[in-house]
Amino acid sequence: MNEELWSRTISQIKNSLPESEFSSWFSRIFFGTEDKGKVTLYVPSNFVKDRVDAVYRELIENTLSELGESEYSVVFEVRKDAQNQNNLKKNTESSKTEPSNQGQDQKAQKPSKPSAEDMMFNPAYTFDSFVPGDNSSFAYSACMAIAKNPGSAYNPCLLYGGVGLGKTHLIQSIGNYIRKNTKLKVVYVTAENFTNEYIQAINENKTLQFKNKYRKVSVLLIDDIHFLQKKVETQNELFNTFNDLYDTGRQIVFTCDRPVEELKDISDRLRSRFERGLNIDLLPPDYETRVAILRKKCQEKNVVFSDEVIDYIASNITSNVRALESCLTKLIAYCQLLNKDISLDIAKEQLRHIISSNNDTSGISIDMVIKTVASYFNVSPFDIRGKNKNQSIVLPRQIAMYLCRKLTDFSTTEIGYEFDGKNHTTVMYNVQKVEARLKSSEKEIDTVIEKIENQIKSEARKK
């Protein structure tokens, strides 16, 4: 690949995003190097890195792969001298500016560049661009009420729910609304950045500046607080920040990927702060809402897809709005590139990967599940299928049954058959065991299962 491909990628992405969103972020991403399909892009700070990695990496990878007709993966690297007009490959100038936190980002910017606050907020995340449905209308209304009346209505407020359901979109909408309509100072930060900045502040003896930054705001928006699990020092700091703001009637909003009671390794006093106020869950959107979201996104991007294509996407992607969006992005790229309308067949072909990795389970066999689980635990597939009651086999067997239920369409009877003829109640019993353990979140079993699950899915994709 070369820079020419990169500039084509950039122009294509430019067409698919709102102008302001494009210029906020893509003016700060620069082509660095490419090696065997692995593309390194340079960005000027950790702050930009985290955001673009979370929000745009997939889009960039898809567009590059599409245009370059080969698979590309992207990593971002912080280069302090990453700047607009320069060819960065030489990396000759060493810059004294642009440290890795957003407060100081501003200093390193030329006047025409967006301010630190602009950089915190994605202009695309507004109440207008959010489609409330059954799953989210309570969260939506609460956020709107907070934006209109920060500090009084629901304080604090915590939104929780799985990935890609609109938590960041909503919490950012509050910020964008307040910035547009008032002069109140509002700060958005991910819990991860909050932690990094805090550690940096301690190392550089700048805790006072840190406190000033977070305790002199009218509205504090902290995204993804599950990241604070086990981070004892940062939890203490957040606890103190919370009390300061709360006692003086300032608004605090958090998001989390699970209900507060399921957080582990969070101090009791901080947990009780999260639980205070309003806790609202975001659920996956129902079919009608998914269609409405797709239509809205098409409208924003100025494209028209047939009802059957929209129905195909909405029926196959059920649990994640971000994945719905990736489908559209992919189809838009295809349309623009080949200047063709999208038929249902083309949509099916183009979206095969996205859809199979989300919920089309047909590529996964029981055998594949058993082998992957066995290799993860380093036991034999034969033992997993068999009757060995040794504790080192029982757990992997339960997990294998659970994943067969979750990832395939086989019935418990069919699954039992593959496990040395066990009957379906045994399968159900084992599946429930795992579910109970997941609920009680013991021993990080959830991360183990997630890892295995991802392995199985990537195995299935190769087929």
Residue from 293, 373, 374, 379 in contact with ligand ADP (CB under 6 A): 293
By beta-carbon proximity to ligand ADP, the closer residue of 122 and 350 is 122
CB of 133 to Mg ion, least distance (A): 18
Stretch that binds ligand ADP, among 61-69, 237-245, 321-329, 342-350 (CB under 6 A): 321-329
CB of 20 to ligand ADP, least distance (A): 15
The item of Mg ion, ligand ADP, none sharing an interface with residue 321, based on CB under 5 to 8 Å by kind, is ligand ADP
By beta-carbon proximity to ligand ADP, the closer residue of 297 and 371 is 297
CB of 50 to ligand ADP, least distance (A): 13
CB of 113 to Mg ion, least distance (A): 25
CB of 180 to ligand ADP, least distance (A): 18
CB of 168 to Mg ion, least distance (A): 3
Residue from 186, 189, 313, 321 in contact with ligand ADP (CB under 6 A): 321
By beta-carbon proximity to Mg ion, the closer residue of 76 and 254 is 254
CB of 167 to Mg ion, least distance (A): 5
322 binds ligand ADP (CB under 6 A): yes
136 binds ligand ADP (CB under 6 A): yes
Stretch that binds Mg ion, among 167-175, 320-328, 372-380, 443-451 (CB under 5 A): 167-175
> Within positions 149 to 168, which residues make up the interface with ligand ADP, using CB under 6 A?
163-168
The residue number with the shortest CB distance to ligand ADP is 166
3-state secondary structure string across the chain: CCHHHHHHHHHHHHHHCCHHHHHHHHCCCEEEEEECCEEEEEECCHHHHHHHHHHCHHHHHHHHHHHHCCCCEEEEEECCCCCCCCCCCCCCCCCCCCCCCHHHHHHHCCCCCCCHHHHHCCCCCCCCCCCCCCCCHHHHHHHHHHHHCCCCCCCCEEEECCCCCCHHHHHHHHHHHHHHHCCCCEEEEEHHHHHHHHHHHHHCCCHHHHHHHHHCCCEEEEECHHHHCCCHHHHHHHHHHHHHHHHCCCEEEEEECCCHHHCCCCCHHHHHHHHCCEEEECCCCCHHHHHHHHHHHHHHCCCCCCHHHHHHHHHHCCCCHHHHHHHHHHHHHHHHHHCCCCCHHHHHHHHHHHHHHHCCCCCCCHHHHHHHHHHHHCCCHHHHHCCCCCHHHHHHHHHHHHHHHHHCCCCHHHHHHHCCCCCHHHHHHHHHHHHHHHHHCHHHHHHHHHHHHHHHHHHHHHC
By beta-carbon proximity to ligand ADP, the closer residue of 131 and 225 is 131
The residue number with the shortest CB distance to Mg ion is 168
Residues that bind ligand ADP (CB under 6 A): 130-131, 136, 163-169, 293, 321-322, 325
The residues that touch Mg ion, with contacts defined as CB under 5 A, are 167-168
